[in-house]
Structure 1
Amino acid sequence: MVLTMTAVFFIALALAFPLYIGFLMASFVAMVFYVGQWSQLLLMNQVLFGSLQKFSLMAVPFFVFTAEIMGRGGLARRLIDWGVALFGWMRACLAAALTVASMFMGAISGSGPATIAAVGRIMNPVLVREGYAEEFSIGLLCSTAALSVIIPPSIPMIVLGSLTNLSVGALFIGGFIPGVLLGVSYIIYNIWYAKKVGVEPPKTQSKGLWQSTREALWALGVPVIIIGGIYGGVFTPTEASVVAAVYVVLVSTLVYREIGFKKVWEVAAESGLITAQIFIVFAASNVLSWFLTVSGLPQQLTSYVAEKHLAPWALLMVLNIILLIAGMLVDAVSAMTVLMPLLFPILVAAGIDPLHAGLVIVINLAIGLFTPPFGFNLFVAQGALGVPVTRLYRGVMPFIAISVVILLAITYLPVLTVALPNYLLGIR
């Protein structure tokens, strides 16, 4: 069934159909030939529109709009100039800046799509202009945006806590070290890649660090206001997206004065089109996720594992394989909702630390977000940046390899996940 759906999807892409049509065709074929119940097709419309009725998705259009205004209103350019003045000595400073920006945006919004929209549309053209291959730039963007699942506040962690009775606070703290490890490993690869392809440090500007900081001060206020507001309890991440949008409009029009209010309306209309492209792909991919859930495939996989009575180390390896596959086929929340009631009791019964098992699950599903063929971040990036899917696949491969290595270290070294929450919260 999965092979048939994959074949239909790639045939649709080869025939130049839009991505969302490929998703819907794969789901339609699977329903007709494997389920055989035409009544199920009537539910596709409900799933298609129902998938967009999520409060967290409201952040996406505002972050898209914020990114567009920052790009045209002078904020992004001043931030880049400030980054060059601060880190210009480092060969891979722009790639490192994208990594850190994605990690911060993921922590701010808790949304991979919002991270891709906000960071990608600003940083991707800059990296390409400086000599990085576009495949590398977007591969880095898709992989770092997935860290929003690991770095708190994480919606999947909240869902996992509700399904398994694990402490959400412990999950949040436990995700800090894995998130930093992945981010640092990406930066190390960035430095190696920049040296390999001959990317030079940006040319030193005549203005110094102090002058660049002064000119970028209003732009630097964006992350300060958002992060401070969220962690200070002033507003939620979704509300933060609205605050950010209003702030950048006021700064661009009244402080930097590089655009007028008429241009703001034009940018708003263009941002609406970009948001529509992202949402239609998201809705169609959720139809596919829904079909996989009702088909019973996840239950079959977990039942098979339960019957084998594997040792803990082997069980963790099988867990990684299952969750990586599940993560590339469905979104993290859907995968958790289906798999956790079946998998989690098996892991606990085998003597695996529940907190460690929960964090391994989260990291697996985060990697699945940018793993071909159906990694959701890939299709969000394609819709937001207009890059062919085949180029996206090539770009993410090195980051998948790096992530899997870190995943194995985290899987078999529980201290990386449980030591910090145990110490800070006094769990044990």
Structure 2
Amino acid sequence: MELWMLAALVAFLLLIRVPVGLAFIGPSLLYAIADGRSAGFSLKTAFDGLNSFPLLAVPLFILVGVLANRLGIADRLYDFCLAALGRVRGNLAYVNVGSAVGFSWMSGSALADVAGLGKMQIPQMVRAGYPYGFAAGLTASSSLISPVMPPSIPAVIYAATATVSTGALFAASVIPALLMALGLCIYIFLWTKRRPDLTTVPFDGRRLRQAAIAVIGPLLTPVILLGGILSGLFTPTEAASVAVAYMLILGVFYRTARLQVLWRSLKETAAITGGIMLILGAAALLGLILTRAHVSRDVAAFLTGVSDNPFVFLILVNILLLILGCLIDATAIILVTVPVLLPIALDFGIDPVYFGVVMIINLMIGLLTPPVGSVLYITSSVTGQPVDVVFRGIAPFLIPLGTVLVIVTAFPDMVLWLPRLLGF
């Protein structure tokens, strides 16, 4: 009964738009105190949930994405894609996806992607004749590539929670992220076949050469970052520090690294990190409550009672995560559900790295859906359009993203091929 009351109070607070971290930690503190535990012990549990060296990479990767936006590095990726794809019908749509893929190697956050690139891409697409719904929907959908492609912030959090190799999870995420980009491009191709009116840009070899030279620096970022991690030269946390230093070096070289820009970047990073860390601490306390209440055992008994087929289990998990992703922040879901679901997945013989990739894709789709989808609200804020208008534009893109989720769920060897090749 007490657990149901806890769940009802958390749901009520989320419904009235209380921030996720506060909606979790308030009821959890009340439950813990009512259960005979002191407030000091409960708060210590929350702080202990943050005491993890791998989690130190989270604010650093956030800073990398913010710096890439504010130092004009993301703009160089966009200009290169536009110069290379200018003659293709629907060029700005393909450029949207291409720049999202390029930016994803530096960001790890969908919010940084849609907030930075969306301000530039959506108005340009609308001026070129694309319907607003299509432009906003594509920009929001392509931003999901960032939290799937390494360096993925959700992957860092999952790896720390599940105690699996961050490098292995990064490697396993590459093919699914590229599949997401491919799925969006196929949708663009089918959509633009009915739109011969969309303008193209004449090919300019000189412009392409200039854009290619300008983008060399940004394109070296994934080489330095992932090359160092996968080769074992440094840990993901150390890699994040190296990436921040490299962004600053590029900013100095491009003469965009002004003190005011750096100060704003640090403030934005601190605000985003503070929200994430509050969720991490609150979820640690809530996770302890669920563990002591044997929720994991009860869920395992229910799921194994439904079927002993691993694929059926994954289908049930997908449905559960898609529903939760519509209601709760992805970070909180990872922290609360991984201790419950991962032991069951291991009993079914499911690889924990593969399970992490499936979980992350599910939760990233939730970023597009109301009532909590943060990418949905950021897109609305950036463009000044109502949320319902933005969601109508996003809805068709859920088809290619959902198709990729089905493919990834059905073919685990495709996900694990690259980690195995690299020796994880």
TM-score band, normalised by shorter chain: 0.7 to 0.9
- Paired residue for 1:17? none
- Paired residue for 2:246? 243
Q: Return closer, same or farther for 1:311/1:23 CA change in 2, 3 Å cut-off.
A: closer
- Paired residue for 1:220? 215
Q: Is the 2:137–2:394 contact (alpha carbons within 8 Å) kept by the matching residues of 1?
A: yes
CA distances 1:369-426 after superposition (whole Å, capped 9, x unpaired): 333322343345456665543334333322323222221222123332234444x257
Alignment equivalent of 1:56, drawn from 41, 52, 58: 58
Q: Return closer, same or farther for 1:110/1:83 CA change in 2, 3 Å cut-off.
A: closer
The one-letter amino acid paired with 2:411 is L
With 405-414 and 214-223 compared, the bigger mean Cα shift is at 214-223
Q: Return closer, same or farther for 1:310/1:189 CA change in 2, 3 Å cut-off.
A: same
Residue 223 of structure 1 aligns to a residue whose secondary structure is helix
With 328-337 and 398-407 compared, the bigger mean Cα shift is at 328-337
- Paired residue for 2:101? 103
Give the deviation of 1:185 after TM superposition: 0.3
Q: Percent identity?
A: 28
Residue 126 of structure 1 aligns to a residue whose secondary structure is helix
Residue 198 of structure 2 aligns to a residue whose secondary structure is coil
- Paired residue for 1:70? 72
Distance 1:190 1:291 in 2: 44
Residue 103 of structure 1 aligns to a residue whose secondary structure is helix
Q: Return closer, same or farther for 1:81/1:101 CA change in 2, 3 Å cut-off.
A: closer
Residue 216 of structure 1 aligns to a residue whose secondary structure is helix
- Paired residue for 2:319? 321
Residue 372 of structure 1 aligns to a residue whose secondary structure is coil
Alignment equivalent of 1:176, drawn from 174, 177, 184: 174
Give the deviation of 1:320 after TM superposition: 0.9
Alignment equivalent of 1:94, drawn from 92, 112, 122: 92
With 96-105 and 270-279 compared, the bigger mean Cα shift is at 270-279
Residue 109 of structure 1 aligns to a residue whose secondary structure is coil
Q: Is the 1:143–1:399 contact (alpha carbons within 8 Å) kept by the matching residues of 2?
A: yes
With 176-185 and 25-34 compared, the bigger mean Cα shift is at 25-34
The one-letter amino acid paired with 1:226 is T
Alignment equivalent of 1:413, drawn from 397, 411, 414: 411
With 168-177 and 313-322 compared, the bigger mean Cα shift is at 168-177
Q: Is the 1:112–1:148 contact (alpha carbons within 8 Å) kept by the matching residues of 2?
A: yes
**Aligned Cα root-mean-square deviation (Å):** 4.6
Give the deviation of 1:278 after TM superposition: 5.7
Distance 2:240 2:188 in 1: 29
- Paired residue for 2:231? none
- Paired residue for 2:139? 141
Distance 1:70 1:331 in 2: 29
Distance 1:216 1:326 in 2: 42
Q: Return closer, same or farther for 1:268/1:224 CA change in 2, 3 Å cut-off.
A: same
Q: Return closer, same or farther for 1:398/1:303 CA change in 2, 3 Å cut-off.
A: farther
With 156-165 and 26-35 compared, the bigger mean Cα shift is at 26-35
Give the deviation of 1:279 after TM superposition: 6.5
The one-letter amino acid paired with 2:59 is L
Q: Return closer, same or farther for 1:145/1:289 CA change in 2, 3 Å cut-off.
A: farther
The normalised TM-score by structure 1 is 0.71
- Paired residue for 1:153? 151
Distance 2:8 2:392 in 1: 21
Give the deviation of 1:268 after TM superposition: 6.1
CA distances 1:147-181 after superposition (whole Å, capped 9, x unpaired): 33432333444554455565544433332322221
Give the deviation of 1:58 after TM superposition: 4.4
CA distances 1:336-356 after superposition (whole Å, capped 9, x unpaired): 333233322322323445554
Gapped regions of structure 2 (runs ≥ 5)? 229-233
Q: Return closer, same or farther for 1:225/1:3 CA change in 2, 3 Å cut-off.
A: same
Give the deviation of 1:332 after TM superposition: 4.3
Give the deviation of 1:220 after TM superposition: 1.0
Q: Return closer, same or farther for 1:412/1:79 CA change in 2, 3 Å cut-off.
A: closer
Give the deviation of 1:230 after TM superposition: 1.9
Q: Return closer, same or farther for 1:292/1:399 CA change in 2, 3 Å cut-off.
A: farther
Give the deviation of 1:25 after TM superposition: 8.9
Residue 87 of structure 2 aligns to a residue whose secondary structure is coil
Q: Is the 1:107–1:153 contact (alpha carbons within 8 Å) kept by the matching residues of 2?
A: yes
1:357 aligns to 2:352 (yes or no): no
Distance 1:83 1:326 in 2: 35
The normalised TM-score by structure 2 is 0.72
The one-letter amino acid paired with 2:239 is T
Q: Is the 2:46–2:282 contact (alpha carbons within 8 Å) kept by the matching residues of 1?
A: no
Q: Return closer, same or farther for 1:354/1:84 CA change in 2, 3 Å cut-off.
A: closer
Q: Return closer, same or farther for 1:288/1:246 CA change in 2, 3 Å cut-off.
A: same
Distance 1:338 1:373 in 2: 20
With 24-33 and 303-312 compared, the bigger mean Cα shift is at 24-33
The one-letter amino acid paired with 1:70 is G
Residue 57 of structure 1 aligns to a residue whose secondary structure is helix
CA distances 1:36-90 after superposition (whole Å, capped 9, x unpaired): 97x98xx99x989x99x9652345456445424529xxx83x7655434421221
Give the deviation of 1:272 after TM superposition: 7.3
- 1:417-428 maps to which residues of 2 (within 5 A)? 417-422=415-420, 424-425=421-422
Distance 2:77 2:262 in 1: 22
Q: Return closer, same or farther for 1:382/1:278 CA change in 2, 3 Å cut-off.
A: farther
Q: Return closer, same or farther for 1:91/1:155 CA change in 2, 3 Å cut-off.
A: same
Q: Return closer, same or farther for 1:199/1:63 CA change in 2, 3 Å cut-off.
A: farther
Distance 2:281 2:212 in 1: 44
CA distances 1:278-336 after superposition (whole Å, capped 9, x unpaired): 66876787798679757749757556424434432321211111222334444445433
